[in-house]
Chains A and B, each alone.
Chain A
Amino acid sequence: MNNNLQRSWLIVPASSADAVAKAAKSGADVVVLDLVELVRDAQKPAAREQCRAAMDAVRACGAQVFAQIDPQHHEADLRASVWPGLDGIVVSRAESPARIMAIDKVLTALETERGMPAGAIGMVLALETARGNQDAYEVASASRRVRALTLGRADLVMDLRPEPSGEIHQMPYLMERLVIIARALNVTPLGAWWRAPDRGLLATAENTLQAAKRGRAVGFKGALCLRADQVEPLNKIYA
Chain B
Amino acid sequence: MSLLVRRSNLLVALGAAGNAGDTGAVANAWRHNADAITLDLTGNNFTRETVQAAITSAAKGGAEVFVRVNKASLQTDLDAAIGPGLCGIMLPCVESAAEVSQAGQLVAALEKQRRLAAGSLQFILGIESARGVWDIRPIIKASPRVTQAALDERALAADLGITPLPELDPFDYARGRLAVETTAAKVAAVGMAYPLSVQPRELPEAELHELATKAKNLGMKGVICHHASWVAPVNAAFTPTPELVEWNRRVRVAFAEGVAAGTAAVPLDGKMIDVPVDEWAIVVLAMAEACARRDAQKKVALRTA
Contact = CB atoms under 8 A, between A and B. Distances in A.
Contacts of A218: 162, 164, 168, 170
A183 B130 contact: yes
Nearest to A219: B160
Interface in B141-181: 159-165, 168, 170-174
A153 interface: no
Contacts of A180: 130, 133-134, 173-174
A48 interface: no
B160 to A, nearest CB: 4
A193 interface: yes
A179 B160 contact: yes
B293 interface: no
Nearest to A180: B130
B162 A176 contact: no
Contact of B165 (A137, A172, A177, A217): A217
Nearest to B171: A176
A214 B168 contact: yes
Interface residues of B, number: 19
A201 interface: no
Given A183-B159, A218-B162, A219-B160, A176 B131 contact: no
A177 B173 contact: yes
Contacts, number: 53
B161 A173 contact: no
Interface centre among A180, A181, A216 (most CB of B within 10 A): A180
A213 B163 CA distance: 10
Interface residues of A, number: 19
Contacts of B135: 184
A216 B172 contact: no
Interface in A183-215: 183-184, 193, 213-214
A184 B134 contact: yes
A5 to B, nearest CB: 15
A213 B166 CA distance: 12
Contacts of B133: 180, 184
Given A184-B130, A219-B161, A176 B168 contact: no
Given A217-B165, A218-B162, A183 B170 contact: no
Interface string A76-107: 00000000000000000000000000000000
A135 B161 CA distance: 24
Contacts of A181: 130, 134
Contact of A172 (B131, B161, B164, B172): B172
A219 B162 contact: yes
B130 A216 contact: no
Contacts of B164: 217-218
A179 B130 CA distance: 8
A218 B161 CA distance: 9
Nearest to B175: A176
Contacts of B161: 219, 221
A217 B165 CA distance: 6
A173 B174 CA distance: 10
Nearest to B131: A184
Contacts of A193: 168
A137 B134 contact: yes
A177 to B, nearest CB: 5
Contacts of A182: 130
Interface centre among B159, B160, B161, B168 (most CB of A within 10 A): B160
Contact of A219 (B129, B131, B170, B172): B170
A165 to B, nearest CB: 14
B162 A216 contact: yes
Contacts of A173: 172-173
A89 B129 CA distance: 29
Contacts of B174: 176, 180
Contacts of B172: 172-173, 176
B119 to A, nearest CB: 31
Contacts of B163: 217
Interface of A: 137, 172-173, 176-177, 179-184, 193, 213-214, 216-219, 221
13 contacts: A172-B172, A173-B172, A176-B170, A176-B171, A179-B160, A179-B170, A180-B173, A183-B129, A184-B133, A213-B165, A214-B165, A217-B163, A218-B170
Given A179-B160, A180-B130, 11 more contacts: A172-B172, A176-B170, A179-B170, A183-B129, A184-B130, A214-B168, A217-B162, A217-B163, A218-B164, A219-B160, A219-B162
